[in-house]
Structures are given as structure tokens and as C-alpha cells.
Chain A
Amino acid sequence: MAEYPQNLKYTKEHEWTRKEGTVVVVGITFHAQEELGDVVYVELPKLGSSITAGSPFGVIESTKAVSDLFAPVSGKVAKVNEALTAAPQTVNEDPYGAGWLIEVEPTDPGQVDKLLDAAAYQKLIQDKK
């Protein structure tokens, strides 16, 4: 699995985003799930609720830790990944695919473009290591 897919945009808080038509799909990065360890619980916002870029929109818990999920963009929650309720470990198994978290209708579609590209995110991780 590619750890830093080129077609995604990233945040410093280790979320990824992907534009799909008018919505933005959001998940956590390969690096984030690796740092968390086994994901055992994901708490996601309600359909239709508003989220604000940079603010927590949910919580992800591994066997050992509880972490906030930060919204990469502002907007309305258009879809949540219900499958994670029964199978939260999907976030570990397929962070860029079946382990996606929510879809957002962005208030400002241009906001995504201002996020980090794959190279910048990869550099962020490598500098940390």
C-alpha cells in the first residue's frame, strides 16, 4: 500500500481528503493509524451536522489511546461510514479505502486545495521521525 497517495490532500493532524464531485471524503492517514495502533472505536458526527476546519469532529480510540479527529475543511456532513461501528479495525486495514470516515459538502470547495500535498505531508512525517 502506498503510504502517501499522490491524489490526496493532507492536514498536519494526519487526516487525508479526496475530492469526489461536490463532496470531500475524509479519513486518517496510514501514518496516523500506525501511530494509534489497533482501532477499536470510532465516534463520528451526525449526518447533516456542521463541522469546522481545524476543530474536532469526532473521536477515534485504539486499544490504548483516545484521539480527536480534526476537520480538514468546513462544511456539512453528507455521509458517515457506518460500517466502522461494527468493524473499526477497517481504519487500520484500509485507511485510504474502506476505512474512510466521513463525506463533507464543503462550504468553500477551494479550501481543500490549500491543504498539504503528498510530498509536503511526507516531509512532515519524515522530519518528525
Chain B
Amino acid sequence: MPRRTPLYDAHRRLGARMVDFAGWEMPVQYKSVVSEHEAVRSAAGLFDVSHMGEVELTGPGALEAANRLLSNDLARSADGQAVYSGLLNERGGFVDDVVAYRFSPERILMCVNASNREKDFRWMTERTSGVKPINRSDDYAQLALQGPKAAAILQRKTAAALSSLRSYRFTEADVAGVPCILSRTGYTGEDGFELYCAPGKAEALWFALLDEGREEGLVPAGLGARDSLRTEMKFALYGNDIDEEHTPLEAGLGWIVKLDKGDFIGRAALERQKAEGVRRKLVGFELLESGVPRHGYSIVKDGTAAGVVTSGTFGPSVKKPIGIGYVPSELASEGSTFAVEIRGRPVAAKVVKTPFWKR
């Protein structure tokens, strides 16, 4: 029996097509993936991401405990800052990728992937002493309002001064009368916000925002558009592009690894990998012939298996078939060419600069 978010009825009423995603019954699209994708790039889209989980560390030592678990450095950030980070295993591989919200050194809230909610909570509980992680996943619904019109729409529904809330900063404020954690973050490459609220208030907030933004082109957007938008930005999707067997250094996420911050789980492995050199890298590529690269397709060079495609789609904004995949480091520089095997046929591809999409 798949789980449902508090917005399930709202999705049905809006005519969404529902799919199973990590055990959750989620809207994949309302009208069409491409139209929702384009709305987010040109106006705004509203996503239900309530399936994401939250784990909280509270009390003296919370920041230090989080910093032992995470690859990025919360000590270097300020209160009110959101920090993208790896939650790594001893081999440096991703247990998950998370966004950690620093309310204060004594309160850290981590947003985790839906597919990893239980695993992450267990992982953190087993490896944290002094502070006890609390699974807050059922206490929050999460809505993502994304797009160039997002700020204007949201501002009419809240007293919080959005013009002074910078990217990757958050605050607590009422939105349409609903108490929220209001974070200027997202997964689309557009300006936007993620709003965490009580599950019982999610539907009121959802429709208040949709009504407010309708005239400016705000539409409900599903997981299909979320995926094509993030792929055009080369934002990693856990389980596709990153997993326990791949490290942030391989995934091109070296910036979320702070080796100089003190010890954290996975650090020794990453130091070793850095010293020895990274052998494979996650690159963005486009196809030079027609076709669509997909997760799991082989990457071949001179007839020999060389890597694997981790994500791919026809990019609705870039209007090209684009993909993300791991290749040997010698094939990772911009302009390198290889082939993607599509139904037994090698299709030429070239490594390009990412993000694929720039406004």
C-alpha cells in the first residue's frame, strides 16, 4: 500500500496522474510534463514534495553532532542558513544527500530524500551520541514554489521580507496564515522557495498559493517536470546519479566536502581518494545524433564499456537530448566524445559544460 501525502485529494481534484515514487503515490503530471516544465522556467510551478523526510538534532552539541555526520561544514555557516551536504558512509559513498537547516547551534533540521527516510534516521541514530536524532518526517508537509514569478506571488501571502532573504537562507513566517519554515531553496535552477508546514495545513496553503499565482501563470507541477528541470541543471538525484558506491568527489560535488573542518564519517576515505586521484567522474553530455539517453544505458568508448548513464531526458528548455553519467576521468573533460548504447546501437555523445540550462 503506497503512502499518500496530505495533498493526495488535492492532486486528484486537479486531475493529476499518480505514480509510485519510492513507495509514495505522487503526481507525475497534471497537464503535461513539458508544459509544467516550461511554466516553471517562465512563470512559476507549485510542487508537492511532502514525501521528503526531516530529521532534527536538538540540544547542546547538535551542531557538532551534525558536523560529524555531514561532509559540509555547518560551523562555517550562519543561523538561518541552509547547507547542501553529503551524509556519507565510511567509504565516502552517499548514504544520502541532504539540506541541513541551521536554526541555531542547538537546532539543526535535515531534509532527507523520501527513499532514505528510515535508513537515514537509523544511520544517524546509530552514529550519534549525546544528541538524539528525532524523526520529524510526519510533522511536516513540504511545498516547493519555483520560478521567476515565485517571489512576487509568495510576497503577497507573507509579511516576511523576501527581498532580504537570499538564496539558501530561510526564516520562519506565516504564509497565507499558515506557520511555515520558508526557505529560498529548490531543485529546478530557478529562483524559488520551499515551504515546510504542518500536514493539516498543507491543503489550505497549496490552494492559497495556486489561487494567488494563477493569473501570472502559476500551475501545479508534478514529479515529471521536477525531474526534467533538475536534469537540465545536473542536480543529482539520489538512487540515480549518486548512491552508496559513489563519492561526492566522483559526483563533481567536491564543494560540499570540507576536509579541513574536523572529523566526519567518510573523511578518511575521501582524503585517500583525493590523494590517489579520482578515477571516474559524473559528467553532463549531449547526444550528437537523435535518441534519448536513459538511466542504466551503457557508455562505450572505442567499442569497450567505459561507464554508465545515470540520468537522461530530452531537455524541454535546452531542446536537446541530454544525459548525466559516470565516465573514466580521462573522458571527463569538456569536448570528450564517447557513445551511448541505445537498444544495441552506439549513439555519439559529447561532454558539455553544465548546467545544461542557463537563463
Residues of A within 8 A of B (CB): 37-38, 40-41, 43, 59, 61-64, 66, 85, 89, 92
Contact = CB atoms under 8 A, between A and B. Distances in A.
A63 B313 contact: yes
B344 to A, nearest CB: 12
**What are the 6 closest A-B residue pairs judged by CB atoms, nearest first?**
A40-B314, A63-B33, A38-B34, A41-B292, A61-B292, A38-B32
A41 B224 contact: no
Most buried by A among B34, B224, B321: B34
Contacts of A41: 290-292, 314, 321
A64 B28 contact: yes
B26 to A, nearest CB: 13
B357 to A, nearest CB: 15
Nearest to A61: B292
Contacts of B32: 37-38, 92
The B contact surface, by secondary structure, is mixed
A43 B224 CA distance: 22
B337 interface: no
A64 B33 contact: yes
Interface of B: 28-29, 32-34, 224, 227-228, 290-292, 294, 313-314, 316, 321, 343
Contact of A63 (B34, B290, B291, B343): B34
Nearest to A86: B290
B34 A59 contact: no
Contact of A85 (B290, B313, B321): B290
B188 to A, nearest CB: 15
B294 A63 contact: no
Contacts of A40: 292, 313-314, 321
Contacts of B343: 43, 59
16 contacts: A37-B224, A38-B34, A40-B292, A40-B313, A41-B290, A41-B314, A43-B343, A59-B343, A62-B33, A63-B33, A63-B34, A63-B228, A63-B313, A63-B314, A66-B292, A85-B290
Contacts of A62: 33
Contacts of A92: 32
B224 A63 contact: yes
Most buried by B among A40, A63, A85, A89: A63
A37 B29 contact: yes
Contacts of A63: 33-34, 224, 228, 313-314, 316
Contacts of B292: 40-41, 61, 66
B288 to A, nearest CB: 15
A69 to B, nearest CB: 13
Contacts of B34: 38, 63, 89
A89 B34 CA distance: 10
B308 to A, nearest CB: 17
B290 A38 contact: no
Contacts of A85: 290
Contacts of A89: 34
Given A37-B224, A40-B314, 16 more contacts: A37-B29, A37-B32, A38-B316, A40-B292, A40-B313, A41-B292, A43-B291, A43-B343, A63-B228, A63-B313, A63-B314, A64-B227, A66-B294, A85-B290, A89-B34, A92-B32
A119 B314 CA distance: 36
A37 B33 contact: yes
A41 B316 CA distance: 12
A43 to B, nearest CB: 8
A68 to B, nearest CB: 10
A37 B224 CA distance: 10
Contacts of A66: 292, 294
A41 B343 CA distance: 14
Nearest to B294: A66
A85 B291 CA distance: 10
